[in-house]
Amino acid sequence: TDIKPVKSDYRIASDSLFAPFEFQNSSKKYVGIDVDLLQAIAKSQKFNISMDFVGFQTAVDQTQAGHADGMIAGMSITDERKNVFDFSDPYFTANATLAVKSTTTDIKSYKDLKGKTVGIKNGTASQAFIDKNKDKYGYKVKVFDAADTMYESLNTGSIDAFMDDEPVVKYAILQGKKFATPIAPEKIGEYGFAVKKGTNPELLAMFNAGLAKLKANGDYDKIVEKYMGNTD
């Protein structure tokens, strides 16, 4: 069965900074696993896309409002989101982890966050986890729109920790950020491409067909390796 696009161009919303999934390279061009993967899928399934890197919560809002046809943003497939989104087959597995400064020695469990301030990015699965456990552990929460300001706030000490997806924190550390991850990660679900529930079914079907093809022919692994060095 050959699925055909019904739109000449699909507008896809994404995060503004979620390396190695989407980020600007040294020539300010957006690259990353999500970007390369979607482009390769679009090419293989013969549909056109334009991507806008608007930030995670804005991507959610634009997709829900129908201003974007879909979103790819390292977005975890959660039961809550399934009420308002239809997801593709999973394309990546990632947990969320707490990050502290590498010089921090007094945070070894969530209990140690009592009286401290934890940063999270608006609309994320990490935010849901951190909000849910706020009263239990007695920390304060600071919400950010993007990762760069959140990371900078940890460096300057205006927050004591933040929670973000593990591959993203690990990548930041590889890039030289002086962060540590002292607590075992939390399962938040696998990443999926998403459309507003009940819309653009052909787009989801083309994504799934393209993803299956790229996994079978090795191109998926090549894309992941290009940005992560390995597929683990």
Toward ligand GLN, which CB reaches closer, 121 or 196?
Answer: 121
User: Per rule CB under 6 A, is residue 34 in the interface with ligand GLN?
Assistant: no
Residue 119: strand pairing partners: 142, 162
CB of 1 to ligand GLN, least distance (A): 30
CB of 184 to ligand GLN, least distance (A): 17
Toward ligand GLN, which CB reaches closer, 68 or 75?
Answer: 75
What is the sign of the dihedral through the CA atoms of 224, 75, 82 and 37?
Answer: negative
Closest listed residue to residue 189, CA positions, set 141, 101, 143, 129: 129
Toward ligand GLN, which CB reaches closer, 70 or 74?
Answer: 74
User: Per rule CB under 6 A, is residue 60 in the interface with ligand GLN?
Assistant: no
Helix (H, G, I), strand (E, B) or coil at 24: strand
Q: Which residues inside 107-166 make contact with ligand GLN, applying CB under 6 A?
A: 121, 124-125, 165
User: Per rule CB under 6 A, is residue 73 in the interface with ligand GLN?
Assistant: yes
Q: Pick from 18, 91, 110, 171 the residue near ligand GLN by CB under 6 A.
A: 18
CB of 218 to ligand GLN, least distance (A): 25
Interacting residues of 65 by C-beta distance below 8 A, sequence separation 6+: none
What is the sign of the dihedral through the CA atoms of 77, 63, 198 and 207?
Answer: negative
Binding mask 160-189 for ligand GLN (x = CB under 6 A): -----x------------------------
Stretch that binds ligand GLN, among 73-81, 83-91, 101-109, 110-118 (CB under 6 A): 73-81
Residue 194: strand pairing partners: 71, 87
- Give the distance, in angstroms, between the CA of residue 88 and the centroid of all CA atoms in the same chain: 15
- Helical spans, DSSP H, in the chain: 33-45, 56-65, 79-82, 125-132, 134-137, 147-156, 166-174, 201-217, 219-228
Q: Are strands 161-165 and 92-101 parallel, antiparallel or unpaired?
A: antiparallel
Toward ligand GLN, which CB reaches closer, 47 or 56?
Answer: 56
Residues found in the chain: 232
Stretch that binds ligand GLN, among 35-43, 46-54, 70-78, 112-120 (CB under 6 A): 70-78
- Site for ligand GLN (CB under 6 A): how many residues? 11
Q: Pick from 40, 75, 120, 163 the residue near ligand GLN by CB under 6 A.
A: 75
State the virtual CA torsion across 100, 101, 103, 107 in degrees, nearest 10: -20
* Residues at the contact surface with ligand GLN, assessed by CB under 6 A: 15, 18, 56, 73-76, 121, 124-125, 165
